[in-house]
Amino acid sequence: MSTWEGFLIALVKTVVIFGTVVQVAALMTLAERKFSAWMQYRIGPNRVGPFGLLQPLADGVKFIFKEELTPDGANKWLFRAAPILAALPAMMTIAVIPFTPDIVIGGRNFGSLAVADLDVGILYILALGGLAIYGVILGGWASNSKYSLMGSLRASAQMISYELTLILTILAVVVMSGSLNLREIVESQPTVGHWHIWTQPLAFVMFVVATFAETNRHPFDFSECEPELVGGFHTEYSAMKWAMFYIGEYSAMTMMACLTVVLFLGGWSVPFWESAPWFVCLAAFLAKTSVFLFLFLWVRWSLPRFRFDQLMRLGWKVFLPLALINLLVTGALVSLF
Amino acid sequence: MADALFYVMAVAAVLAALGVVLAKNPMQCVLSLLVSFFALAVIYLLAGFQFLAAAQILVYAGAIMVLFLFVIMLLNLGSPGTEDPTDVRMFSRANATLMVVVAAAILFVLALAIRRAGPMPVENSLPEGGLDPIPGLAGEMFGRYLLPFEAISVLLLATAVAVVVLAKRDRRANEESKA
């Protein structure tokens, strides 16, 4: 395989993965509205295209043509940079998610559908994923508005608290599979019986709850809590800058759903069909991811919002000790057997 | 290519570090520090230490800098015209001279120590795992260097405890002065 071929294959993979994530993020906004309508006995968007499927496109056009407002006394440079910083990390971290096993077409091996196969894949995700908070913090601070600042303050406290739980639960899985490489973590759970959701049920539950807090999703969306803070950190944002925060949020949700599948649900492994071809594996991966994306919506439209002190208590007094004990027990059991 | 990237990142790291001490606005200081950390992480990557680079960003950029920003926003520093007069006093001429003298002394001692130590034994300091960084690193850290590793964690713990004790005593004194 020549260098050019390798470059071309990598380019195709990058375009496919990146394009899909942006598409999913756009379609999730529609799914959210459709789903909330369904849960509240409404119809939801149904005017633009069949079943309202072109609604995200119409929204995008609207955002581009709306007037952009910058509040007085805002730090202009940071105010502009914040939406980019909010949208970028989720799109960068998706690069290490392996969606399929090695793709073999006509006897040729094109490698796994992943942009990069890093030995420190998990750390890469945690490191860059942790930077998503800067978009929220700097956006709120640069807006020069009390509501925005309060939203940012809450977001920073919340993110730091729940990142601990997130990292400790991921570490339990890493200890089980003995690797930081996401492909190897998937390969360590080849059949349904090996999925880490069975070996690490406690870590799974805490991880899923922590992903809600990390993506600022309901019931933990205190940084934009509309009854108290108008719109929280994005109160002062309008037009495409505002939309960037939303693209960031929905990409982060997609990314977290993919990560949950990789860590706990065997990634591309198909239940009861170990030697499935790569496209079946891809379908299985996407199906599992959709379940978690659906969970994000389901929870949002079913549960009331927490109180901020409850969130902090849950994070520091319940999840952190539990995650530490879980990691300790896991480590002890793995080293014994 | 790698060499060029190294020099770009090295210059960026030094300039950003200068920005940390020279910028007037605390927000700019923190953001400069962030840029400096990123440049350092890239340098680690160039040296082949993926783990160190990721840990650098995860710990410093992802957690510690967020705490810094949290404090700055909580105290609402950085709005123009609210400079604390005590900050200015810190940079009086006498103090500045003292700082330069102390910095020069530290630099002298460091240079002396590096000269005495001689060339670093590079071939022995790399883990035997070589290209597989994480098992190699873990093996070294929890094998040969277990004692220093534990000593550092005890030191950090002691620091955390000390901070809690100091902060607590301060509050009690306040309450006594009120009563």
* Segment B6-50, tens digit of pLDDT: 899 999 999 999 888 888 778 888 888 989 998 998 888 888 777
Domain count across chain B: 2
Q: Is residue B126 part of a domain?
A: no
Beta-carbon separation of B58 and A157 below 8 A: no
pLDDT of amino acid B130: 52
Residue A328 pLDDT class (50, 70, 90 cuts)? very high
Domain end, chosen from B119, B147, B169, is at: B119
> ipTM strictly over 0.85?
no
Strand partners, A105: A108
Which structural domain range is residue B23 located in?
A: 1-119
Preferred mutation among A72, A78, A93, A119 to probe B, highest tally of B CBs within 10 A: A119
Q: Are residues B3 and B90 in the same domain?
A: yes
- Residue A158: per-residue pLDDT: 85
Let me know if A163 is exposed, middle or buried by CB neighbors in 10 A (0-12, 13-18, 19+): buried
Each residue's pLDDT tens digit, B53-95: 888 888 888 888 888 887 777 776 555 555 555 555 556 778 7
> Is B124 contained in some domain?
no
What number is the average pLDDT over the span A32-56?
Answer: 85
pLDDT, residue B129, reads 46
Residue A193 reports pLDDT greater than 60:
yes
Whether the CB of B70 is below 8 Å from some CB of chain A: the reply is yes
User: Same structural domain for residues B34 and B103?
Assistant: yes
Top-confidence residue, A208 or B66: A208
Q: What percent of chain A has pLDDT over 90?
A: 12
**DSSP helix/strand/coil, A209:** helix
What whole-number distance in Å separates Cα of residue A28 and Cα of residue A48? 16
Q: How far is A335 from chain B (nearest CA, A)?
A: 15
| Domain identity same for B106 and B141 | no
Measured CA to CA, the distance from residue A91 to residue A282 in angstroms comes to: 19
Average of per-residue pLDDT across B117-134: 58
B13 found inside a domain: yes
- Read off the pLDDT of each residue in A169-176 and give the average, rounded to a whole number: 90
CA distance B79 to chain A (A): 9
Residue B125 resides in a domain: no
d(CA A104, CA A102): 6
